Amino acid sequence: MHPSRLAWLGLLSTTAVLAAPHAAAQVQPLPAPQPPPPAVQPQPYPPPGYQPQPQPPQPGYQPAQPQPYPQPYQPQPQPQPYPQPYQPQPQPYPQPYQPQPQPQPYPPPGYQPQPQPYQPQPAQPAPAPAPASDRRTNTEMFFLYTTGLGYGIGTGVWVDALFKITDPGAAVIAPVALGAAAPVGVSFWDDLGGPLHKGVPSSVATGLLLGALEGGGIAGTQYVLSRSKEDDWSFRAQTTITFLTATGGGVGGYFFGEYARPDLHSLAFISSGSGWGLISGALFGIGISGRRWGDWATVSGMIGYNVGLLGTGAISLWRSPSYQTLKWMWVGYGAGTLAGALVFPFYLFSDSDPKRGFVAPALGGIAGAAVAGVLTSGMIDDELAPRTSKNFLSPLSLDLGSGPQPVNFGVSPLTGPINGVQGNPEQKGALINAMGQF
């Protein structure tokens, strides 16, 4: 055989030998058919009275142990800190039930709301104002302290005159001692007797001042009317009458304060009335006097002083003007006095006594104060006025009826509201301020 063929035969035989195990592994013989399982024979019921015999345990048999029923998870208690003392916790106050608003449905398209008739709401009663304090103010006490100081010094001078003390060193003892004792005594009176009532300290102080002026006026009138030096009162008599009238004025001021409970506005009004009466009375006395016009002026001035004191005191029981009103009353008094003095140039063309002309300024001053008081009766003080515009309505207005807004035309010396009403800055009109502002 040819060698090349032998080589091919050897290669083929080697390949067959190597592939035989793989083919044997891939070709598996079919399993033999299994016989069917035997049919389960039904067990007969045990006869009556059958007692099952316990079976001996099989070797190697372990009875099943009962498994415990799974318990729910119990959290382990945490170690508690050292017990603290019991502190009650505040419980929240239960809130009342608040109903929730229900959503309102949207109105349908084209819905036109119907106007509801006006239902007047009942007027709510105004809250009751806080009761006014009946306690005196510190301003009143300061007024009484300073007036008492002057009263004590004057009383010391009266003591020196009464005992005829002429030595300068000894003469200052009583005025200094009594001048210091008067304010201290007022302080003890206010502390030990309870706080003084409202208006009483200022009324007592005003009475002391007006009474001292009364005594000085009486002593001055006697000095003017005396025809000789022998008829004149001594210094002891003059100081005695002044001490008595000042003390009487203080006592009268106390009872007036307890009855009327005036404020400083009323007392300033009474003091102003006394001054107006004194000035106008003196001018009137000059006007009706003859040659001794000084006597008439002194007597008439004292009469006018007391008339003004009593008249303004009676008016203060009904109406207490503000400081603004009182200021304009003084302006009105001065303006009336100057207007009355315009009569004097006419005496240049007359043979009458020019002293008669003093009657006009005497009456003109009183008339000017009265008119100014009426026009400014509604003014309030700056600390009580609202912090708004300074415009105001004229008390003497004339409605001309022209246009949608009437023309407000008038003459007024006012600088504040009338009866608490401020002016309208948008109002069309003309306002002439006769006196200006100061």
Confirm whether 200 is domain-assigned: yes
Q: Is the pLDDT of residue 395 over 70?
A: no
Confirm whether 432 is domain-assigned: yes
Alpha-helix runs per DSSP H in 27-137: none
**Residue 409 forms beta bridges with which residues?**
398
Considering the domain architecture, whether residues 415 and 339 belong to the same structural domain is answered as no
Question: Residue type at 122?
Answer: P
Instruction: Quote the CA–CA distance of 409 and 266 in Å, as a whole number.
Output: 33
- The tens digit of pLDDT for each residue in 53-78 reads 666 655 555 655 656 656 666 666 66
Report pLDDT for 210: 94
Confirm whether 81 is domain-assigned: no
Confirm whether 174 is domain-assigned: yes
The total of structural domains in the chain comes to 3
Q: Is the pLDDT of residue 400 over 90?
A: no
Give how far Cα 276 sits from Cα of 125, 264, 325, Å.
45, 18, 15
Instruction: Quote the CA–CA distance of 168 and 130 in Å, as a whole number.
Output: 56
Considering the domain architecture, whether residues 189 and 295 belong to the same structural domain is answered as no
The mean per-residue pLDDT over the stretch 290-302 comes to: 87
Cβ contacts of residue 155 below 8 Å, gap of 6+? Answer: 174, 178, 182, 243
Mark which of 209, 233, 261 sits at the end of a domain.
261
Q: Is the pLDDT of residue 230 over 60?
A: yes
| CB < 8 Å & 24+ apart, contacts of 178-184 | 178/152, 178/153, 179/149, 179/150, 179/152, 179/153, 180/149, 180/152, 181/152, 182/148, 182/149, 182/151, 182/152, 182/155, 183/145, 183/148, 183/149, 183/152
Considering the domain architecture, whether residues 315 and 354 belong to the same structural domain is answered as yes
Confirm whether 401 is domain-assigned: yes
Instruction: Quote the CA–CA distance of 278 and 302 in Å, as a whole number.
Output: 6
Q: Is the pLDDT of residue 432 over 50?
A: no
The pair of three-digit structure tokens given for residue 143, joined into one six-digit string: 């007024």
- Contact at 8 Å (CB) between 285 and 301? yes
- The tens digit of pLDDT for each residue in 231-257 reads 788 889 999 999 999 999 999 999 999
Considering the domain architecture, whether residues 273 and 373 belong to the same structural domain is answered as yes
Considering the domain architecture, whether residues 231 and 321 belong to the same structural domain is answered as no
pTM of the model: 0.56
Query: What range defines the domain where residue 403 resides?
Result: 389-438
Mark which of 240, 261, 282 sits at the end of a domain.
261
Report pLDDT for 193: 74
Number of residues that make up the chain: 438
Considering the domain architecture, whether residues 395 and 429 belong to the same structural domain is answered as yes
- The tens digit of pLDDT for each residue in 133-167 reads 678 888 889 999 999 999 999 999 999 999 999 88
Confirm whether 209 is domain-assigned: yes
Q: Is the pLDDT of residue 413 over 80?
A: no
Considering the domain architecture, whether residues 271 and 257 belong to the same structural domain is answered as no
Considering the domain architecture, whether residues 146 and 216 belong to the same structural domain is answered as yes
Mark which of 209, 242, 261 sits at the end of a domain.
261
| CB < 8 Å & 24+ apart, contacts of 215-219 | 215/241, 215/242, 215/243, 215/244, 215/245, 215/246, 216/242, 217/278, 217/301, 217/302, 217/305, 218/245, 218/302
- Contact at 8 Å (CB) between 257 and 197? yes
Considering the domain architecture, whether residues 215 and 268 belong to the same structural domain is answered as no
Instruction: Quote the CA–CA distance of 9 and 73 in Å, as a whole number.
Output: 82
Considering the domain architecture, whether residues 411 and 307 belong to the same structural domain is answered as no
Nearest to 338 by CA among 279, 278, 295, 290: 279
Confirm whether 34 is domain-assigned: no
Gyration radius of the chain over CA positions: 60
Confirm whether 58 is domain-assigned: no
Answer with the residue of higher pLDDT: 215 or 294. 215
| CB < 8 Å & 24+ apart, contacts of 38-47 | none
Cα torsion angle, 318, 320, 325, 329, sign: positive
Considering the domain architecture, whether residues 191 and 208 belong to the same structural domain is answered as yes
Considering the domain architecture, whether residues 240 and 325 belong to the same structural domain is answered as no
Report pLDDT for 85: 61
